[in-house]
């Protein structure tokens, strides 16, 4: 149990570090009321602004307040502005401010805005929904959608994807984090209802951005290819190349069939990206196929090691043994 918790903590740290460096589009919550032409009641919207646009908006709100109330010219904070006037009352003071803020609020959301939260940007992440048409017996879609997630929620998804590269799905998430799974499920339903009108069909969700980010962070999901396999009366020999976390490892295991003792020869800590470049492979899968084609058979281990030496590709060599049943 301790080992599992330590591994999860290590994966979470990697996921958090990745998110801290990830380039993300910031969005800001806007709250207000419906304008007179649309009716009464509170409403809200979410707008995307760059850091430069946020700085400009703050400046424009301040200048608009000075014009509106004929105040001394200085830079007023948003809190100071809201103490002096309703935010929507500044509409019409500065054309640039109208274009950036008030006009989209009015035309797209029928809103008289009262506040915008510049201090707590929110982020959206890409997912897709695929629907199964039971009448036609075929999959339809995808219906792409974006979902707002907190940093904690996204780090959780990244962490689980890192731990379970081939097995982490929304279906499993229902057993792991019910609240988050329901949140994604509801958003997916909204997405495919919009895509397929009001048809209700079974559907599945792919967490596209999570998968892509984990690929950027850790490379492809681990996989391997057999380079050599030989069984006879005395010995069984297997040579296998493994790829995981952008590292390549080659293991030759020779088992003495009389007592099942095993000698391992291992090449490890090989940079998959460097190997892919030296082999002129198009991707990781192509690289592994090329290794399998060029370095297979009885001499696979030594031939591949010779290639690494000739190309001056760094690696670590190790030999290990496992005692037999009589030892």
| pLDDT < 50 stretches in the chain | 197
- What is the structure's pLDDT at 161? 96
The DSSP bridge pattern shows strands 203-206 and 223-231 to be: unpaired
pLDDT of residue 242: 97
3-state SS, residue 234: coil
- Cα gap 97→63, rounded to integer Å: 10
- 107-129 pLDDT, tens digit each: 999 999 999 999 999 999 999 99
**d(Cα 192, Cα 76) in Å, to the nearest integer?**
45
* Residue 232 contacts residue 182 (beta carbons within 8 Å): no
So where are the chain's domains?
Answer: 2-23+123-218, 27-116, 223-322
CA dihedral 36, 39, 45, 47 (to 10 degrees): -30
Cα separation of 128 and 144, whole Å? 4
Which residues, listed in sequence order, are joined to residue 43 by a DSSP beta bridge?
A: 32
Supply 233's token pair.
């009366």
Could you report the per-residue pLDDT of 140-157, keeping only the tens digit for each? 889 899 999 999 999 999
Both tokens assigned to 9: 């903590």
Contact 27, 122 (CB under 8 A): yes
For residue 75 the two structure tokens come to: 């830079």
pLDDT tens digits for range 58-103: 999 999 999 999 999 999 999 999 999 999 999 999 999 999 999 9
Please give the torsion angle defined by the CA atoms of residues 190, 191, 196 and 198, in that order, rounded to the nearest 10 degrees.
Answer: 0
32: which 2 tokens? 């207000």
Backbone angles phi and psi of 239, in degrees to 5? -125, 125
Residues 208 and 108: their CA atoms lie apart, in Å, by 28
CB atoms within 10 A of CB 270: 20
pLDDT of residue 140: 86
CB 94 within 8 A of CB 63: yes
């Amino acid at each position: 149990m301790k080992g599992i918790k330590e591994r999860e903590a290590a994966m979470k740290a990697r996921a958090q570090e990745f998110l801290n460096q990830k380039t993300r589009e910031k969005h800001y919550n806007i709250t207000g009321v419906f304008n007179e032409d649309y009716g009464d009641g509170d409403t809200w919207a979410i707008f995307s602004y760059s850091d430069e646009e946020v700085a400009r908006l703050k400046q424009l709100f301040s200048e608009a307040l000075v014009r509106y109330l004929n105040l001394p010219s200085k830079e007023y904070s948003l809190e100071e502005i809201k103490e002096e006037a309703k935010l929507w009352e500044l509409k019409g003071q500065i054309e640039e401010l109208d274009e950036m803020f008030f006009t989209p609020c009015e035309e797209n959301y029928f809103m008289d805005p009262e506040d915008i939260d510049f201090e707590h940007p929110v982020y959206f992440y890409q997912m897709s929904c695929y629907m199964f048409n039971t009448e036609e017996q075929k999959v339809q879609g995808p219906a792409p959608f974006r979902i707002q997630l907190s940093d904690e929620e996204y780090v959780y998804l990244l962490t689980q994807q890192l731990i379970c590269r081939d097995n982490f799905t929304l279906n499993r998430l229902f057993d792991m984090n019910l609240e988050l799974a329901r949140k994604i499920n509801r958003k997916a339903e909204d997405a495919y209802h919009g895509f397929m009108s009001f048809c209700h069909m079974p559907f599945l969700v792919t967490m596209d951005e999570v998968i892509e980010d984990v690929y950027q962070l850790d490379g492809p999901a681990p996989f391997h290819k057999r380079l050599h396999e030989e069984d006879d009366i005395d010995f069984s020999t297997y040579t296998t190349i493994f790829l995981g976390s952008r590292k390549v490892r080659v293991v030759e295991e020779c088992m003495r069939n009389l007592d099942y003792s095993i000698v391992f020869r291992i090449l490890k800590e090989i940079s998959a990206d460097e190997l892919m470049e030296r082999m002129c492979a198009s991707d990781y899968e192509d690289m592994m196929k090329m290794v399998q084609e060029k370095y297979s058979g009885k001499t696979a281990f030594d031939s591949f090691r010779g290639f690494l030496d000739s190309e001056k590709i760094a690696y670590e060599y190790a030999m290990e043994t496992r005692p037999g049943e009589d030892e």
